[in-house]
Chains A and B, each alone.
Chain A
C-alpha cells in the first residue's frame, strides 16, 4: 500500500503545498518510509485495549465562562499582509 506520485500530489494540494515534479519524486520515498513505520504498529495485537486519543489520564480541563480582555484591533491586524476598514483583506472568494 505504498503511496503513488498521485497520492503525494493530492496530499500536497490538501496542504496547499506547491511541489514541483522533482519535489514530488523526492518526497514520495520518505513519506512511504514513514508509513511503513506506522505499518509496524498494525502488527500489534490490541484486542481488549480501549482506543485513546491522549496519553495522559486527564479529562475535563475547563475554564469558567468568563470574559477576558481581547487584543486591540491594531494588535489583531498587526501581522495581516493587508488590512482595510478594520478587516483582514483576502482574495475574492465567491465569483458573482
Chain B
C-alpha cells in the first residue's frame, strides 16, 4: 500500500452528548439521598445496589425536571414516554443494566442558539432523555478497582445534538456547552459543576476537508471536565485526525480519553463493532403519560431563560450586548447583578464594577459568585458612595478589595480608613500648588509648548498627594484654572 502525503486543511464536525445530574433531593428510583461526595456506599439501598427483587419507583420530580429542560431547549414532548433497559456488564452498574429511555425519549427536536464572533447559530438537539447514573470506579494501586455506589441511581438527563451536526469548530462546541449549562442552571435542574461531574460532555469528532459535505470516521472524547478542556479536546482531535489523513492513514472509530495535564487525547478502547445493549421495555416500570395539562403546568413555572434575560438587561439597564451576555452567563451572576443594579440605582456602574474589579477578585481566589464575600447590597452601597461624592473611583478600587477580604460594610471601612473625599477646597488647592511647584518643567511644557497631554500627569500627582481622596472633578477644575486653560 503506497502512502500519499497530502496537505489538506480539515475542519471538525462535532456531535455533543451531554449528561446532567438532576438536582433532585432523592435518587431516580429509590429514596436514597442525591448528593455529591461523602463516604463511599453510605447512600445506598436494595434498589440502587441492584438486589434481586428490589423494585424501582419513578421520582416524579426528576421527570418534571426533564420536562422543564426539554421545554427550555425548545423540544417537543412525547406524551407516551417510557423507560427501557440497556444491558451491559461493567462493575459500576450493579444490576447489569441501566434504566434509560431508548426509542421514546421525553423531549425531541429541540434547539438552542449560540453566538460566536457576533454571529448567532442554531444548534439542533435530537433528544433529551432521562436515565440513571452509574456508580463510581476508583482505580487503586495493585490489581483491584474499588466501587462506590453512592452515585448509582442518581437521576441523569442526557442531551444529544442532532445529525447532521451543526457544530463545526472547537469554539462552537465550547459555546454550545456554555449555553447549555446556562440554561440548565437557570431553570434549576442541574448545578452545572463540571469539575464534580454533575455536567459531563462527550463530544464526538470527525473531520472533513474544509468546504466538503462528507463525514469522516468519528472518535468520542471522554473525561472533559471544563469548558476549556472541551475546546482543547476538539481542537486536538481535529489536528490529530487531520495529520493522520494527510499522512495517508485511517482514523479508527474509538473512545479517547482526555489527559488534561498533557493536553492530549489517548486511545481508551476500540469499539469492536456496535456494542449490543439489547434494549427492551423496562418491565418493572409502567409507561409515562405526560399530559398537555402537566406540560402547561411546568411551562408556567419556568423562570426567565438566559437569552430573554440578556435581551432584557440590554433594554432595561442599557448594557452593551457583550456586558449583558457576560452578566447572564449563569443565574447566580445575573441575580447578583440585578440586585446590585436595582439597589444602587446605577446599573451601568454596577456592571462595570462586577465585570472589572469584582470578577478579577473572584477569579484570583477561584470563588464562585454565589460565595462572593461582597454582597450585592455592599456593592450597591459602594457605587452609591462614589456617585454621591463620598469617595473617589480610585479609592473605590482599594475599598472593594478590602470589602472582598473582610466582607465589611463599605461606609464603615471608608470611615475607619479615612477614605472620604477631601471636602476642604483649600486642602486640594494646597496640593495643586505643591504639585505645580515641584513639576515646574511640566507646567512650562504645557503652557508654553501646548503639551496639553501632559496635564494628566499633574492630575495624577495631585491625586497621589491627596492619597486619592480628592474629588477628581475638583482637581481637574483647579488644575485647569491654574494653567489658565479654562474658558
Given contacts A71-B46, A76-B41, contact A88 B147 (CB under 8 A): yes
Q: Mark B14-56, 1 if CB is under 8 A from A, else 0.
A: 0000000000111000111100000111111110010000000
Q: Mark A65-76, 1 if CB is under 8 A from B, else 0.
A: 111111101001
Interface size class of chain A, counting residues whose CB lies under 8 Å from the partner chain: 20 to 34
Give the chain A neighbours of B40 by CB distance below 8 A: 73, 85-87
Mind listing 17 A-B residue pairs with CB under 8 Å? A53-B287, A56-B286, A62-B58, A66-B26, A67-B32, A68-B26, A69-B31, A70-B44, A71-B44, A76-B49, A76-B149, A87-B41, A87-B147, A88-B146, A91-B143, A92-B139, A93-B90
Give the chain B neighbours of A37 by CB distance below 8 A: none
Overall SS of chain B's interface = loop
Give the chain A neighbours of B89 by CB distance below 8 A: 16
Q: Does B358 sit at the interface, judged by CB under 8 A?
A: no
Cross-chain pair count, CB within 8 angstroms: 124
Q: Which of B60-68, B185-193, B318-326, B359-367 contacts A (4 or more CB under 8 A)?
A: B60-68
Task: Assess the B41–A92 pair: CB atoms within 8 A.
Answer: no
Of chain A, the residue at the smallest CB distance from B148 is: A87
Interface size class of chain B, counting residues whose CB lies under 8 Å from the partner chain: 35 or more
* Bound form: Cα–Cα A94–B269 in Å: 9
Give the chain A neighbours of B30 by CB distance below 8 A: 68
Task: Assess the B147–A62 pair: CB atoms within 8 A.
Answer: no
Given contacts A16-B89, A88-B149, A91-B143, contact A70 B42 (CB under 8 A): yes
Of chain A, the residue at the smallest CB distance from B57 is: A63
Q: Chain A: residues with CB nearer than 8 A to chain B? A: 14, 16, 53-54, 56, 58-71, 73, 76-77, 84-94, 96
Q: Does B268 sit at the interface, judged by CB under 8 A?
A: yes
Overall SS of chain A's interface = loop
Select A89's contact among B49, B144, B283, B289, beta carbons within 8 Å. Answer: B144
Given contacts A62-B60, A87-B148, A89-B144, contact A73 B286 (CB under 8 A): no
Give the chain A neighbours of B149 by CB distance below 8 A: 76, 88
Task: Assess the B41–A61 pair: CB atoms within 8 A.
Answer: no
